[in-house]
Each structure stands twice: as structure tokens, then as C-alpha cells.
Amino acid sequence: MAMTDPGPDGRFGEFGGRFVPETLMPAVQELEKAFRGAWADPEFRAELDHMLTHYAGRPSPLTDCRRISEELGLRLLLKREDLNHTGSHKINNVLGQALLARRMGKTRLLAETGAGQHGVATATAAAYFGMDCVVYMGEVDIERQALNVFRMKLLGAEVRTAMSGSRTLKDAINEAMRDWVATVEESHYCLGSVMGPHPYPWMVREFHRVLGDEARRQCSELLDGGVPDVVTACVGGGSNAAGIFAGFADSTAELVGVEPAGGAAVGRGVPGVVHGSNSYLMQDEYGQVKEAESISAGLDYPGIGPEHAYLAAEGRARYESVTDAEVIEAFQLLSRTEGIIPALEPAHALAWVSRERAALAGKTVLLNLSGRGDKDATQMMEVLS
Ligand SMILES: *Cc1c(COP(=O)(O)O)cnc(C)c1O
């Protein structure tokens, strides 16, 4: 059945696995063992639940949208991850990993970040637990995301510049992994999406499952025990989509992930190994990982988590892409009709719903609103003026 635990080798069908250098193997094995123990421990689960409730603000509401539904000719339900502390779904994963790191006796959190959102979330969790925090960020991204760099520093984190390669997210991941190998005694690498070597894709999905389980209960209440016809979410690495899909994988709901046209790893990518697991990624003709390009910095990861590659191959989920122009329109549409300014990432999912409105007529569509749009307001002010 879809979205249960991967095998002991971390495989989802032919995807996933653990392709790491010898020096990293003990660290990922120790992490897997610790996660298995923690996840089976009711005390760990209760402590995480307590933090999610009293610090992160869970459960997030489900909003039954009236005006946009009328405009599109369907029924749109939004899972409101934008209302979480720090403004997105990312807090679910970082609180889980930080609590696990503490249980493992670690005192230092490492993270990579592209647009800065995962770095900010990790720095937040580190501050909450009183842990040291080092965030790796490409030189190019540091220049583009000055406000998030400031936020991380304010939260007590050290931001280190990744100078190798294209000086963006994929280079930051490489440097964070290098740091981890050298400091594994005291450090935990807090990876930001459902990617990387086993156990990360599985573990990160499990930490986000809370949002899918909540949405399942909320939909059941609203729809007299029923489920939506379609469940959709944007896909960068794929963590928010994995969280909401996990709540509906065993149901009749159709699952649709939406990627940016300039980063469509499932649509235009090829199978290959990157950052420790086997999945789809964008490559050039020489097999080099290609830069993804998108209006939304949070989605410009050139790969996709291995479980999504598996769900696509099995036909349990499908993956569509939308253009920047469609995203800009969706961003304005939700703001104007519902009074909710979405982050540009989930605006991708809405752009797909809006484009496919004829095919979706009369259906109930659950969309994971993964984050709020405050962080994108300045960029959109320039785009729209
Ligand atoms: C980081 C981010 C994403 C992309 O990450 P996934 O792992 O694909 O979920 C999507 N939405 C928001 C609001 C984000 O901050």
C-alpha cells in the first residue's frame, strides 16, 4: 500500500536508498535507529504533540472557501499551514528533528537552506531547545535573501557561505553534509525536505504526516465521513505534499503534485542519484544536475523526493506543472477572493486548480496551503507594478 514504511534499505520501489560515502554511513545508520526508537515511543510522540500544539499552533484550520469556489465552479478546501508559527509547514519537521537530536544527545543543529525558509525554521527550533545552529547557504542565495539571513542571525544561528559549485542550494547541502561527517558526535543534520539518504525521506514525511492526518479528520467531519475528490499540493523537494498525501493515500482521493515548469523533476527529469538517494532530477546532456528556475525560490530544487518518484511510477499520484504567469495570477486570485495572501509555492497548486477548473467542475478539491505570502510581498510588488 502507498505511503507505508519503506523497506530496511530505505527503498520506495526502485527509488530512494542510501548512497553516501563510507564516512557518512555510521551517522545515517545511527539516525535511523534513533528515529525508529523515538517514533515507537509514546513519550516522544506526546512531547512532540505538546510542542506542536503549544508552540507551533497546531492543529491548523481547514477553510471551506466560499467566494473562490463560486468563481472556479468547484469546492475548494484549504489546509491552513500558513497559520503555523514561522508561517509554513516547515516547523513540523524541524521540531521533530530537533527533539530527536536532543534525545540523541546532540547539541548542534546543521541545516542547508536555499530561499532561507528552512534555515529560519531550524534556527527557530535551535533557539527553542537552546542548541547551537549553523546554516549553510549558497553565496548567491545569501545575496538574494538578506532578510532571512538577518532573521537567522537574530535567532542566534551562524550562517555559513557555500562557495562551491553554483553557490546555491545543492552546494549548501553538500557542505552541510561535509560538516556533519566531521562533527557527528555533537551535530545533527536537520534536512529540510523528503530527500537525501534513508531515513530522511521517510522520517521527514512522518514528521509532516500530522498535517495530512488532521486534514483527513477535518474533511471527514465536513464531508459527512467522505474524502475530497482531489488532494493537491506544490512540490519542491516534496515534504508538504508528502504530509498531506500521507493522510489520503489509502483513500479514493486523487493525489496531484504541482511543480514549477522550470523545475519539473517528474515531468522533465531523468532517474539518477543525487544527495544520497535515487530519484528523478533535472540533468543537462552531460549528466550534470541542472539549476531549476522558478519565480518561487522555495521550489527551485532540481530534484524531487524518492517517494514521489515512486508514487508517480505506480500511478498513485500524478505531477503537473504550471508557469510563472499562472502562479502570479493565482497569487492575486486567492488574495482578492478569500483575503488570504498565499506564499508563491502553494500558489502553484492553486494555479493548477484554476487552469483545470473545467475538468474539476463540481468536485471537492483539498489544497495544502503550505505557507503565507508575507515573505513574497516585496517581490510581487515589483512584479505587479
Ligand atoms: C519550503 C517550502 C515549500 C517547498 O518545500 P516542500 O518540501 O516541497 O514542501 C513549499 N511551500 C512553502 C511555503 C515552503 O516554505
Residue ranges per structural domain of the chain: 11-51+90-189, 58-88+209-384
Query: What pLDDT was estimated at residue 167?
Result: 84
Query: What pLDDT was estimated at residue 140?
Result: 86
Q: State the Cα angle at 13 between 271 and 89, rounded to 5°.
A: 80
Domains 11-51+90-189 and 58-88+209-384 share a fold: yes
Class of domain 58-88+209-384 as given by CATH: alpha beta
Determine the Cα–Cα distance for residues 226 and 188; give it in Å rounded to an integer: 41
Task: Name the residue of 85, 97, 239 whose CB sits within 8 Å of the most ligand 1 atoms, as the mutation to test its pocket.
Answer: 239
Query: What pLDDT was estimated at residue 1?
Result: 56
The one-character DSSP state at 106 is: -
pTM for the whole structure: 0.96
What is the CB neighbour count within 10 angstroms for residue 196? 28
Query: What pLDDT was estimated at residue 274?
Result: 81
Spatial contact of 326 and 194, defined as CB atoms under 8 Å apart: no
Distance 343 CA to ligand 1 centre (A): 9
Torsion angle defined by CA atoms of residues 379, 335, 369 and 383, in that order, rounded to the nearest 10 degrees: -20
Catalytic residues: 65, 89
Class of domain 11-51+90-189 as given by CATH: alpha beta
DSSP string, 212-237: HHHHHHHHHHHTTT---SEEEEE-SS
Q: How many residues are listed for the chain in this entry?
A: 385
Name residues whose C-beta falls within 8 Å of residue 128's C-beta, 6 or more positions apart in sequence.
51, 55, 95, 98
Spatial contact of 88 and 60, defined as CB atoms under 8 Å apart: no
Distance 22 CA to ligand 1 centre (A): 30
Q: Which residues line ligand 1 at a C-beta cut-off of 6 Å?
A: 88, 90, 117, 193, 234-240, 298-299, 343, 345-346, 370-371
**pLDDT tens for each residue of the chain, 385 residues long:** 579 899 888 999 999 999 999 999 999 999 999 999 999 999 999 999 999 999 999 999 999 999 999 999 999 999 999 999 999 999 999 999 999 999 999 999 999 998 899 999 999 999 999 999 999 999 988 988 899 999 999 999 999 999 888 888 888 999 999 999 999 999 999 999 999 999 999 999 999 999 999 999 999 999 999 999 999 999 999 999 999 999 999 999 999 999 998 867 776 678 888 888 999 877 776 767 776 677 887 776 778 999 999 999 999 999 999 999 999 999 999 999 999 999 999 999 999 999 999 999 999 999 999 999 999 999 999 999 9
Secondary structure of residue 342 in the 3-state scheme: strand
Task: Name the residue of 208, 345, 367 whose CB sits within 8 Å of the most ligand 1 atoms, as the mutation to test its pocket.
Answer: 345
Query: What pLDDT was estimated at residue 124?
Result: 98
Do β-strands 15-16 and 11-12 pair in parallel, antiparallel, or remain unpaired?
A: antiparallel
Query: What pLDDT was estimated at residue 125?
Result: 98
